[in-house]
Amino acid sequence: MKKEDEIFIPYGRQKITQDDIKAVVKVLQSTMLTQGPMVPQFEKAISSEVGASYAIAVNSATSALHIACKALNLAQGDWVWTSPITFVASANCALYCGANIDFIDININNGLIDVDKLEEKLIYSEKNGRLPKIIIPVHLSGSSCNMKRIDELSKQFGFKIIEDASHAIGGKYNGVKVGSCQYSDVTVFSFHPVKIITTAEGGVACTNKQEIASKMRVLRSHGITKEVNSFKYKPSGPWTYEQQELGYNYKMNDIQAALGISQLKRLNSIIHKRNKQRDYYQKAIKEENIQMLEIPLNVKSSVHLAIIRLTNKSAAEHKKIFESMLKQGIGVQLHYSPVHMQPYFRELGFRENSFPEAKKYAESAITIPIYEDLTVEEQNRVIDALSNAIRS
Ligand SMILES: *Cc1c(COP(=O)(O)O)cnc(C)c1O
């Protein structure tokens, strides 16, 4: 290993254990690499872990968001609203369906959509006949949005809810696990290697609604159904399946599912460690005018990301501190550069100042390293590097 590789601390990284490797090898030595027993087993493990009736495993959270939108009948002319402080996938899923995208500005202290602003925007949009069909709250860094309030608004204004919980498996809201879909139609998790647990690439869509679950199941596999009872035509033999609509090949394979099952067993200990690491940062960072992203009171965060905010620095100073940290071998990141400011979205008509809190957030937030194997010594190095950066 080169010296530089040894000393660079990334903002996040996966952990693969011997048990994980054994689980994957076992599938590789079996007869079924895909469409075998592991995917249904993984789905069962996920749904019982998060308390949802159904879990549909797919090849990414992006795919899960897409088929969730489709299953909720999102189509051309409809509107989807999400947070500007998210990964682009939370917005792209609307565009895949030919729908329009808009955003709700955030609460800068916790990075989550501001429900007061959401309510204002709904009242205004109702007058213009432009109410959203779907709202996608994003549980940034693993902290649940104010789902009770969003659910109340959904009943008042008639929209559906997809929780983008890509960061939030293992988290709780009001003591109930994220993914239980208590206040939503669908909840989506990601298993990309930087997330809480991984299947290399992968995602899952959870729901309590049988009809939405079966729609998503059909959509992940070409629009094909093998349920003879739901065939449109009388089958000509036992080999028949029917494609009844246009779907996709979004299937998860058995190698991924086996890794997921194995990783899921460590979920509780992973969440515990991440919370401890976050607490350590919170206590040990003594700089004035630096705040960690707040976790709402009724939320148990999965702490997917450790995000600090510089509360009295200019955008230029923020950039300088960022660069200095990188030079010192600390893999800082920005989660996220606001989606509406991406070139593709600017072309849809969004301006930099369309969501001023999101812009201000992006000029003050820094993601610092947090992951399962991060040591206290490494955390201390991060904290020292931050002090240096601020004083340089
Ligand atoms: C990672 C992520 C996604 C996409 O997940 P993939 O599994 O990589 O498709 C979507 N939304 C958010 C908030 C994410 O962080």
What ligand 1 atom has the least distance to the C-alpha of 201? 7
Average pLDDT over residues 132-155: 98
d(CA 275, CA 383): 17
Least confident of 87-96, 177-186, 232-241, 274-283: 232-241
Q: What is the DSSP letter of 105?
A: P
Largest Cα–Cα separation, the chain: 77
384 backbone dihedrals φ, ψ, rounded to 5°: -65, -45
Ligand 1 atom with least separation from CA of 194: 1
DSSP for 178-195? TTS-TT-SEEEEE--TTS
Whole-number pLDDT of residue 210: 98
DSSP reduced 3-state for 212: helix
Give the atom of ligand 1 at the shortest distance from the alpha carbon of 138: 13
pLDDT at 63 over 70: yes
Nearest CA to ligand 1 atom 6: 61
Average pLDDT for the chain: 96
Q: Residue 202 CA: which ligand 1 atom is closest?
A: 7
Query: Per-residue pLDDT averaged across 124-150, rounded?
Result: 97
pLDDT class of 224 with cuts at 50, 70, 90 = very high
Backbone angles phi, psi at 332, to 5 degrees: -70, 160
- Provide the pLDDT confidence category of residue 192 given band limits of 50, 70 and 90: very high
Helical packing angle, 89-96 and 61-71, nearest 10°: 40
Ligand 1 centroid to Cα of residue 304, in Å, is 12
The conformation of residue 227, written as its DSSP 8-state character, comes to -
- Residues with Cβ within 6 A of ligand 1? 60-62, 86-87, 89-90, 138, 164, 166-167, 190, 192, 203
279-167-361-317 Cα dihedral, nearest 10 degrees? 60
| Cα 83 to ligand 1 centre (Å) | 13
Report whether pLDDT(190) > 80: yes
Pocket test for ligand 1, best of 95, 140, 166 (most atoms within 8 A of CB): 166
State what percent of residues in the chain have pLDDT above 90: 94
Q: What is the pLDDT of residue 1?
A: 42
Distances (CA, A) of 48 to 43, 74, 188, 193: 9, 28, 15, 22
d(CA 391, CA 385): 10
The best mutation among 62, 141, 302 to test binding of ligand 1, ranked by most ligand atoms within 8 Å of the C-beta, falls on 62
Percent of the chain whose pLDDT exceeds 70? 98
Q: Which residue has the tokens 């000393």?
A: 7
**DSSP H or E segment with residue 50:** helix 38-50
Cis peptide before 233 (omega within 30 of 0): no
- Across 85-94, 192-201, 235-244, 277-286, least confident range: 235-244
Cα(193) to centroid(ligand 1), Å = 11
Is residue 259 within a helix (H) or strand (E), and if so which, with residue range? helix 254-264
Output the CA 93–ligand 1 centroid distance in Å: 11
- Note whether 318 and 390 are within 8 A (CB): no
Distance in Å, CA 258 to ligand 1 centroid: 20
**What number is the average pLDDT over the span 86-109?**
98
Distance 89 CA to ligand 1 centre (A): 6
For the CA of 139, the nearest atom of ligand 1: 13
pLDDT of residue 54: 98
Tokens of 361: 């957030």
- Alpha-carbon torsion, ordered 180, 202, 371, 364, to 10 deg: -80
**pTM score, whole prediction:** 0.97
Q: How far is the CA of 136 from the centre of ligand 1 (A)?
A: 13
Written as six digits, the tokens of 336 are: 């996220």
Residue 5 pLDDT greater than 60, yes or no = no
Flag whether pLDDT at 197 surpasses 90. Answer: yes
Residue nearest to atom 5 of ligand 1 (CA): 61
Q: Report how far residue 137's alpha carbon sits from residue 166's, in angstroms, rounded to the nearest whole number.
A: 11
Mean pLDDT of 50-72: 98
Query: Of 55, 331, 54, which is closest to residue 199 (Cα–Cα)?
Result: 55
Which residues contact residue 262 at a Cβ distance below 8 angstroms, ignoring those fewer than 6 apart?
17, 19, 20, 22, 23, 24
Taking the centre of ligand 1 as the mean of its atom positions, its distance from the CA of residue 376, in whole angstroms, is 28
306-364 pLDDT per residue, tens: 999 999 999 999 999 999 999 999 999 999 999 999 999 999 999 999 999 999 999 99
Q: Over 80: is that where the pLDDT of 240 sits?
A: yes
Distance, CA 391 to ligand 1 centroid (Å)? 35
Q: Report the nearest atom of ligand 1 relative to the CA of 191.
A: 7
d(CA 190, CA 194): 9
pLDDT at 206 over 60: yes
- Which atom belonging to ligand 1 lies closest to the Cα atom of 203? 7
* Gap from CA of 190 to ligand 1 centroid (Å): 6
What is the residue type of 179? G
Query: Is the separation of the CB atoms in 67 and 250 below 8 Å?
Result: yes
Of residues 194 and 3, the one with the higher pLDDT is 194
Ligand 1 atom 10, closest CA: 89
The closest-lying atom of ligand 1 relative to the alpha carbon of residue 335 is 15
What's the whole-number mean pLDDT along residues 215-223? Answer: 97
Residue 6 banded pLDDT, cuts 50, 70, 90:
low
Distances 288 to 291, 311, 316, 323, 328 between C-alpha atoms, Å: 8, 9, 18, 20, 21
For residues 79 and 92, give the distance between their C-alpha atoms in angstroms, rounded to a whole number: 12
* Centroid of ligand 1 to alpha carbon of 201 (angstroms): 10
The pLDDT of residue 4? 47
